[in-house]
Amino acid sequence: MTTAAPADHTTAAAVVAVPRSRRQIWSLGGGKGGIGKSLLAASLGYQLARTGRRVVLVDADLGGSNLHTCLGLEMPALTLGDFLQRRVEQIEDVLVETGVPGLRLVSGASDFLAAANIKHVQKVRILNRLRALDVDVVLLDLGAGSSFNIIDFFLISDVSLLTVIPEPTSIENSYRFIKSALYRRLRGVAGNEAVRQLIDSALDAKNEAGIRTPIDLLRVVAERHPDAEEALRREVAAFHPRFVVNQVRDEADQRVGHQLVAACARHLGVRASYAGYVPYEDAVWRAVRRRRLFMADAAESRAADHIRRLTGALLQGETLPLPWA
């Protein structure tokens, strides 16, 4: 898998000052469009930079990049597309300032065709270069959907955040996203073709083995291919998405994060956690509409306050306590 790819030695990376282990890749996925992934990415990036981290925001929404707008910037002249097309050699060449000390941006591809057909080697190239950047946090804003392009970025991240809003469509999509991501991960350790086929079949609702969830899949694998079970279990255990509930309007919305965690554990066998929530606020869309950086434009809003808390919690590895804890 991409994580195991050898380092790209053609990288003329700057002198590495930060130990590699300190550097982190965070990603924000969500399965559905228009739920605030970009807004949250820009806001988390901003807050990380304001508390002294060196951050690179990456608009990995290759077909519909607009992260620059959340930062009050025009589409930069050079984007990830230029790097993908090898019009520039270094990822640093498409790194632009944002005006916030410590916060830089790699804008998404403006070239839609190039983006739609990104190949595995290109993904690996992007990831290797990003990993080689001399920064504290690389924050990826993923596009909508559960395509491999998106999932692969999600899976290589040290912190994989899943944005949801308290609406049925968003939640359905986030479950689909979780299953797709987990199955892709399992596929990487399947060991043999029969197990791989079983995993592939699991996403088909009418599969012959009656697999509907990762729990079912593990059971069937244990029955039919006991040798493969252990490796799959280990992957499932290591898979740890973190929910961020956006556009929260009341207490019931707030609880949705806990319900998702419980539902994932009980019915998917996935250990997720609830990182935090962000209230719905007019100040957010007002800032977006005026193409302003929300966190600075409405620094005193409740939403901004929650983003500051969320950032702190993520840095500490804290999660929201359960309702009765």
Partner 1 sequence: MGLSGPPSDHYEALGLGPGATQDEIERAFRFLEGLYAEGALATYSLLEPDEASEARARVRAAYEALADPVRRQAYDAERRPPAGPETAPGPDDVAGVAAAAPAVEDAPQAIPPALPVPAGPVAGALPEPPVPRPAPAAPAAPLHVASHAHPRDRVVPLLLPEPVTGPTLRRFREERGVTLAEISTRTKIGVRFLEYLEADRHSDLPALVYLKGFLAEYARCLGLDVKRTVDSYLSRVRS
Ligand X SMILES: Nc1ncnc2c1ncn2[C@@H]1O[C@H](COP(=O)(O)OP(=O)(O)OP(=O)(O)O)[C@@H](O)[C@H]1O
CB 176 → partner 1: shortest distance, Å? 9
SS3 68: helix
**Complex with ligand X: residue 123 or 306, whichever CB lies closer:** 306
Residues that bind ligand X (CB under 6 A): 30, 33-39, 61, 64, 144, 246-247, 278, 280-281, 284-285, 288, 303
CA 144/CA 147 separation, integer angstroms: 9
Taking CB under 8 A as the criterion, which residues in 254-293 touch partner 1? 255-256, 258-263, 265-271, 273, 290-293
**Complex with partner 1: residue 85 or 117, whichever CB lies closer:** 85
- Which residue, among 275, 306, 19, has the nearest Cα to 164 in the 3D structure? 275
Could you write out the DSSP letters of every residue in 227-258? HHHHHHHHHHHH---EEEEEEE-SHHHHHHHH
Q: Which residue is nearest to ligand X (CB)?
A: 285
**CA-CA distances (angstroms) from residue 111 to 61, 82, 95, 119?**
12, 8, 17, 15
Among 27, 38, 43, 246, indicate the residue that binds Mg ion (CB under 5 A).
Answer: 38
**Complex with ligand X: residue 7 or 285, whichever CB lies closer:** 285
Q: 143 φ, ψ to 5°?
A: -75, 180
207 contacts partner 1 (rule: CB under 8 A):
no
**Complex with Mg ion: residue 64 or 188, whichever CB lies closer:** 64
| Long-range Cβ contacts of 82-88 (<8 Å, 24+ apart) | 83/126, 83/129, 84/109, 84/111, 84/114, 84/115, 84/118, 84/122, 84/126, 85/111, 85/114
Among 37, 104, 129, 131, indicate the residue that binds partner 1 (CB under 8 A).
Answer: 104
Residue 263 CB contacts under 8 Å (≥ 6 apart), including other chains: none
Among 2, 24, 110, 201, indicate the residue that binds partner 1 (CB under 8 A).
Answer: 24
**Token digits of residue 36:** 């605030």
Taking CB under 8 A as the criterion, which residues in 219-248 touch partner 1? 219, 233, 236-238, 240, 242
CB 296 → ligand X: shortest distance, Å? 16
**Complex with ligand X: residue 40 or 211, whichever CB lies closer:** 40
**Complex with ligand X: residue 13 or 283, whichever CB lies closer:** 283
Q: Which residues bind Mg ion (CB under 5 A)?
A: 37-38
